[in-house]
Amino acid sequence: MSASRFVVGIDLGTTNSALAYVDTGAGDGAKVKGFAIPQVVNQGVVEDRPLLPSFLYLPGEGEQPAGAMKLPWDAGRDYCVGEFARNFGSQVPTRLVASAKSWLGHSGVDRKSPILPFRAPENGRKVSPLEASTRYLKHLAEAWNATMAKVPDHRLELQEIVLTVPASFDAMARDLTVEAAKAAGFEHLTLLEEPQAAFYSWLDSLGDNWRKDVQVSDLILVADVGGGTTDFTLIEVGEEGGNLSLTRLAVGDHLLLGGDNMDLALGHIAAAALAKQGTKLDANQMLQLTYGCRSAKEQLLSDATKQSAPVTVLGKGRSVIGGSIKYDLPRADVEKILLDGFLPECAKDAEPARARNAGLQELGLPYVADAGITRHLAHFLHRQSEALANREKPGKKKKGDAVALPTAVLFNGGVFKSDALRDRLMHVLNGWAKSAKAEPVRTLAGADLDQAVAKGAAYYGLVRRGKGIRIRGGTARSYYIGVETAAPAVPGLAPPIKALCVAPFGMEEGTEADLPKQEFGLVVGEEAEFRFLGSTIRREDAAGTLVEEWEEQIDELTPMRVTLDGKGRAVVPVHLHSKVTEVGQLEIWCHSRDGKQRWKLEFNVREAK
C-alpha cells in the first residue's frame, strides 16, 4: 500500500482500550496524539472520553428504553461498549462481558464460541471472546470514521494500524487478535508487544534526551501490570557504531494476574466487612461488589487525596433503590491488600506457588495460583539468568547472578498509577540489588500509564517508516513442533515426542527459515494431531534443532487436530519451511519431496478440544 495519511496505534486492553495517531500530513513536526473516543456514557448521552472501557453490555428485552444506546452512526444499536456498558452493566453482571482479552488468550476454551458473559444463563445473550474483541475494535473504527474521516481516504480501515498484544501472547492468541482486527475491517495491520509500545512511548516523550537517561549495558525492566495480565520484558541497551541501540532480550510467561485479581480480593474484603454488619451477599451481588470494587480501586489509585471510595450493590427485592447496599472502601485496606497480597517482599530467588491439582476444578480463566507479582518477577529473572549472564558487558566480567537484575525500571499499566505500588516494587528490587552488591535500580519517569501503549504503537508506525530508533527483538520465544519418535510399541506408553525448532528465538518479521536437510512423514487424508511448543528461555536453538528432553524448558501450546488434503490415508515425505509474516504471525509450511504439493499448518487459529 502507499503510505497512509495517518499512522494509528491501538491498545486493545483488558480493562480499557485506547487509540492514538500521527497525522503525517502535518510534516516532520507531527506529534503523537491521543484520540478522544465518543461513546455512550449514560442513557441516550454520548460524550468523548480518552479511553474506551473494554466492557460489552448485552441488555435483556425491555431493559433499556428506546434510544438509550444510540450512537451518532447507529441509532438502533442494541448493545453497548464503553463507559455506560461498564457502569450500568456492573449492576447486571450476567449481561456484562468483561476480560474478553484474557479469554481470547485462553487456550482451554473455544474462543470462537458464544461463552461470554461467562456466568450468563443459558437463554441469555452471549458472544464469543473473538466477537467481543471485534466489537471493541469496530467501535473504535466507527468512532474514528465519524470524527476524522471527512474524506474517504481518511477512513480508519485505510490507515496503517499498529495493534498491540501482551508480550506473553503466544502465536495462537496473536493470530486470533489479527482475526478480530480483520473482522473489524482492518487490513494494513502490524502487531506490537505492549511493553515495547510503552517503551516507544517513553522514547517519544523524551525525544533525543532519552540517551541521557540510559547507558550502554543497562538492562531495563518493563513492568506491565494491567487489568488482566502481568508482563515482564527486559530491554538491553547496547552500542553500535558509537550510537546506543536497543534489543528486547526476554519476555516472561503469560500470567493471568492483574487488576481483575485485585478487584476480586477487595470484593472479598468488602463482603467480609458487610457480613460483620449482618449483610450476606448472594453470588450475583458478589459479582456486583467485585465490579464496584474495581471502580473504587481505580478512583483511589488515580487520586491520592481520596481516603475512601463508595461501592454500591443492588438489593434483592423489587425496591432495589431503597434496598441498595453501600460500602465505603478505605484507601488503607486497598493499599494493604495490594501491597502485602500482590507485591509482597520476598527474596530474589523466591518461587511462586505451583498450580493447585484438585480433581475437579471450575471452568474459567486459568488464573495463576500465586498472587505475588514479586515472586513471579523473581522467578522470571532467575529463569533468564543464564541468557543474561552470556551478555557481553564492556569492561566487566560475566557474573551470572549479578547480571540477572535490571538496572532500571519502566512502569506500565493502570495498577502502577499508585505511588505506593510503584514504591513497593522498587523497594523489593533494590533489596535484591543490595544483596547482590549491585547499584540501586533507577526508575525511568515520564510514562503516560493510560495511553502509553497506544501512543507508543503510533510512534512505532513512524519507526517503521524510518523515523526514530527501533527496538530489535523478533519473536519473543522459540517455537517447536512435536515429532513422534519411530520406536517399537510399548503397552500403556505413547511414543516419545521430540521438539523440532521451526522458528528460533528472535526471528524477525518478514524472515523465513527452511529445513531442507530434514525429512519427516506427514499424515494426510485422515485426522491427525499436531503438537506445538514454545520456550522463552532456549535462545540458542536454530531452526532444525531437535530436542529430545524438553519438558523443563519448553512448554506445550494448543495442539491442533486437522485432516490435511490427500488421496486417501498416506504418510507423505515432507520438509518444513517457516515464516514470520510482517504482521508478526508464524506460518509453518510442509513441502512434498517433489515440490509439487505443500500444506500450511494454521495451528494458531485452532482450538484445543
In a domain, 559, yes or no: yes
Q: Based on the domain organization, do 71 and 174 belong to the same domain?
A: yes
178 in the same domain as 282:
no
What is the tens place of the pLDDT at every residue in 279-301? 999 888 888 899 889 889 988 88
Choosing from 307, 342, 377, the residue where a domain stops is 342
Query: 159 and 27: one domain?
Result: yes
How many angstroms separate the CA atoms of 419 and 399, rounded?
A: 33
Same domain, 166 and 26: yes
Based on the domain organization, do 51 and 182 belong to the same domain?
Answer: yes
Residue 246 lies in a domain: no
- Is 437 contained in some domain? no
pLDDT at 476: 80
The reply to whether 571 falls in a domain is yes
Specify if 431 maps to a domain.
no
Total Cβ atoms within 10 A of residue 324: 12
Are 322 and 181 within one domain?
no
Instruction: Kindly report, residue by residue over 44-95, the tens digit of the pLDDT.
Output: 999 999 999 999 999 998 899 999 999 999 999 999 999 999 999 888 889 9
Q: Are residues 151 and 265 in the same domain?
A: no
Q: Which domain holds residue 312?
A: 259-342
Residues 47 and 176 in one domain: yes
Q: Which three cell numbers stand for residue 185?
A: 475491517
Based on the fold, state whether residues 138 and 263 are members of the same structural domain: no
Residue 319 lies in a domain: yes
Q: Judge contact between 10 and 457, C-beta under 8 A.
A: yes
Task: Write the single-letter amino acid at 18.
Answer: A
Last residue of a domain, one of 283, 316, 342: 342
The domain that contains 313 carries what CATH number? 3.90.640.10
Q: 505 CB contacts (<8 Å, ≥6 apart)? A: 474, 475, 476, 477, 478, 535, 536, 538, 539, 541
Convert the pLDDT of each residue in 187-207 to its tens digit: 899 999 999 999 999 999 998
Q: What is the pLDDT of residue 127?
A: 97
Helix (H) or strand (E) holding 142: helix 129-147
Kindly report the CATH number assigned to the domain that includes residue 57.
Answer: 3.30.420.40
pTM: 0.85
Containing 196, the helix (H) or strand (E) segment is: helix 194-206
Q: What is the Cα–Cα distance from 538 to 188, expressed in whole angstroms?
A: 32
Do the domain assignments include residue 249?
no
Amino acid at 4: S
Q: Is the dihedral of CA 179, 181, 187, 192 positive or negative?
A: negative
Are the beta carbons of 216 and 364 closer than 8 angstroms?
no
Q: What is the pLDDT of residues 113-126, one digit of tens each?
A: 999 998 888 888 99
Asked if 296 and 168 sit in the same domain, the reply is no
Domain co-membership, 171 together with 266: no
- Residues 185 and 266 reside in one and the same domain: no
- Count of structural domains within the chain: 3
Q: Express each pLDDT in 333-381 by its tens digit.
A: 898 999 999 999 999 999 999 866 555 555 678 888 999 999 999 999 9
What band does 602 get if pLDDT is binned at 50, 70 and 90? Answer: low
Domain boundary among 342, 371, 402: 342
Decide if 222 is inside a domain.
Answer: no
